[in-house]
Chains A and B, each alone.
Chain A
Amino acid sequence: MSYLLFQVSFVAYLAAAIIYTVFFFSQKIQVRNVARIVFVVAASLHTLNIIFRYIEAGHTPITSIHETISFFAWSIACCHLSFRWRYTVKNSGTFTSIIVLLLMLVSSLASREILPLPPEMRSWLLPVHASISIIADAFLALAAIGGIMYLLQERELKQKRFGFFFSRLPSLDTLDKLNQHCISIGFPLMTLGMFAGYIWAGQIWGGRPWHWNPKVVCAMITWLFYAGLMHQRFTLGWRGRRAAWITVIAFCAVLLTFWFVLSGGVTSGA
């Protein structure tokens, strides 16, 4: 059942991404409305998929590569929708739906077997640590999407050559606010997720929570990037281009951490 739901939601995401892209070129409001509906439907199906998977596996489905990436895609979709609730960012749907689609594609290529959890993983801290971290990453992903949009738009404004993106992207101020909102939600969540991971590691490794493995180091570096950005924004009013660049670079670090986590085998010890 969860397999079928995954396939269906994947197709729905594909449709949403295509319709959003059509809208990006044509700028017809009706097209966007259709895209929104399809995207919401896709996200709902995906939610069902995760619930069914939870029931089938008997534990929170964030343990295999397939599950983790799928959960990541789901979080981005939900974050995007939650932001739409509050305020509109013109045309961000196109970018988000494409990222979500790509993640779903990667996820569908990974093995979908439901693996039994090794005994040391059976802690209530696993779902807490993993889900909080992934949701944090989703907000940071949105910040990075906003950052890329900002850099594209800023380039057009600075060079005074108004091409394809100028009329299609929102104002710099909107994008900068998006960046700030996403990071001010994503960063505390990320901190919380890391703290949960720290406690959990302490449980597993018997009082020695700190290990010099690439995943932990990389996560630490990522955290420092965002901490630095937050600090500079609040004290010196760093914003705009610089903030956008750091957001994009820091998100690359997030992806690298993610890759270390997955390549190390999600379930092979913290």
Chain B
Amino acid sequence: MGHDSIVLLGVNHKKTPLEIREKLALTGGYEEPLKRLQELEGLKEYYLLSTCNRVEVLFVCHDPEQMRREVLDLLFAGKVSREEVAGCIYVYENEEAVRHLFMVSSSLDSMIVGESQILGQLKEAFRHAAEQKTAGMVLNKLLHKSFSVAKRVRTETQIGANAVSISYAAVELGRKIFGDLRGKRVMLVGAGEMAELAAEHLVSQGIQEVVVANRTLERAMKLAARFQGRAVGLDEVVEQLLDVDILISSTGAEGLVLFKKDIAPLMPRRRNRPLFFIDIAVPRDLDPEINTLENVYLYDIDDLNNVVEMNREQRDKEAIKARRIVEEETLKFQRWLNGMEVTPTIVDLRAIAESICQAELAKTLPRLNGISAKERKCIERMASSIVGKMLHHPMQYLKADHGCVGQSERIVQVRTLFQLNEHCGHGEQADD
């Protein structure tokens, strides 16, 4: 069987414009494309990942060149022309593929470096592959490794701790103002997608209640239901501000919606409890003068972007640390993979047999007094031929083509039976 290759091909936000990514995205879920890939004989193991920023296929096969073409044709035929796909796709093999997967899982390849969503998406994708039994020994090990690499990066570096996106920035600022967000109330004015995302982040921090105000009450009610909050009309916003602590505004209005003169009389009635306004609408909804009021903090989209920027330098430093971890883990995986081939397994097997043989001879020979050199040779030969005969069938089992048990599985069996992994494990540690 010789060498199998791990191949990863895909498109991501870095090289491919959104229009193409939209077309390539697997919008219908994983089941159907995974089934279709089953038709390809040459694929030994495979899995698929599709998020809003990337589509990736990872597979193990014997003939990477041919399989690459077949997989691309099968997945993307009819969506985008071959030339277009060829222009934006990246292909990694073996070590590079492993490294890339680790980079993705630890969020180093994400649009927003350090965000944690990707790991969940990866696990979800792997779950589908595992359910359909398309991931075998190598991919199982590889994917699980990628989860643990992501975890290691997250615990050993600060990469995830910083404010990395607008909604994270909003949460970060909210924490600096209120300390604890638990028990606070947030109001969404306008039910845009961005506002929804920010609210989601705030709710995950323990926000007590979400109030949604929108031009159309129906949409407001729908969104409110999502957060188990309540919906109010746009004309009630000012009155609601007596109870609310954070306001996220994202209406499509042309002009300003809230002015300083609306807010100023509220503050004594609020007993000066702080108010945090987030204006993510373009053009702006909130009068910038509001920020001059005491205990009132107003941030528009540019200000939030600055918060995100501010963390970039620190994040870059952490990214270097994270890359080193990825590099280490890639090497470790490569070492494991190498051990999983037939030839090294046979070599390991022979080596362990030889060492047992030598050890026993060293114990026995000194006890036999007065034997000639010839007799000594005979005993040595006998010992090594016993070992050789004992190993004959395991070796045959490894090498031969077996109908029902796959080769990789046989390798695992033999390695477990003779405890070769532990044996090599010691060597590996010594290398580290």
Contact = CB atoms under 8 A, between A and B. Distances in A.
Interface of A: 153, 157-158, 160, 162, 166, 170-174, 177, 236-242
B274 A173 contact: yes
Interface of B: 173, 175-180, 268, 270-274, 291, 294-295, 297, 299, 303, 306-307, 310
Contacts of A242: 294
B303 A171 contact: no
Given A158-B297, A160-B306, A162-B307, A237 B272 contact: yes
Contacts of B273: 237, 239
A177 B179 CA distance: 10
B295 A173 contact: no
Contact of B176 (A157, A238, A239, A241): A157
Contacts of B294: 240-242
Given A158-B291, A162-B307, A242-B294, A172 B179 contact: yes
Contacts of A157: 173, 176-177, 297
A240 B175 contact: no
A140 B310 CA distance: 35
Contacts of A170: 179
A236 B268 contact: yes
A172 B177 contact: yes
Contacts of B271: 236-237
Contacts of B306: 160, 162
Contact of A239 (B173, B295, B303): B295
Contacts of B176: 153, 157, 166, 171-172
B362 to A, nearest CB: 51
B177 A240 contact: no
A1 B291 CA distance: 58
B179 A240 contact: no
29 contacts: A157-B173, A157-B176, A157-B297, A158-B297, A160-B299, A160-B303, A160-B306, A162-B306, A166-B176, A170-B179, A171-B177, A171-B178, A172-B179, A172-B274, A173-B177, A173-B179, A174-B179, A236-B268, A236-B272, A237-B268, A237-B270, A237-B272, A237-B273, A238-B272, A239-B273, A239-B295, A240-B294, A240-B295, A241-B294
Nearest to B177: A172
A95 to B, nearest CB: 18
A179 B23 CA distance: 58
B401 to A, nearest CB: 58
A171 B179 contact: yes
A162 B268 CA distance: 29
Contacts of B303: 160
A162 B291 CA distance: 16
Contacts of B180: 171, 173
A239 B179 contact: no
Contacts of A238: 272
A162 B179 contact: no
B273 to A, nearest CB: 7
A157 B303 CA distance: 11
A170 B179 CA distance: 8
Given A157-B297, A240-B294, A241-B295, 7 more contacts: A160-B303, A160-B306, A170-B179, A171-B176, A173-B179, A239-B295, A240-B295
* Residue of A153, A174, A236, A237 ringed by the most chain B CB atoms within 10 A: A237
B83 to A, nearest CB: 47
A155 to B, nearest CB: 12
B215 to A, nearest CB: 29
Given A237-B268, A240-B272, A173 B178 contact: yes
Contacts of B307: 162
Closest 4 CB pairs of A and B: A237-B271, A173-B179, A171-B179, A237-B272
A242 B267 CA distance: 14
Contacts of A162: 306-307, 310
B267 to A, nearest CB: 9
Nearest to B176: A171
Nearest to A166: B176
A128 B270 CA distance: 41
B174 to A, nearest CB: 9
Contacts of A172: 176-179, 274
* Residue of A162, A170, A177 ringed by the most chain B CB atoms within 10 A: A162
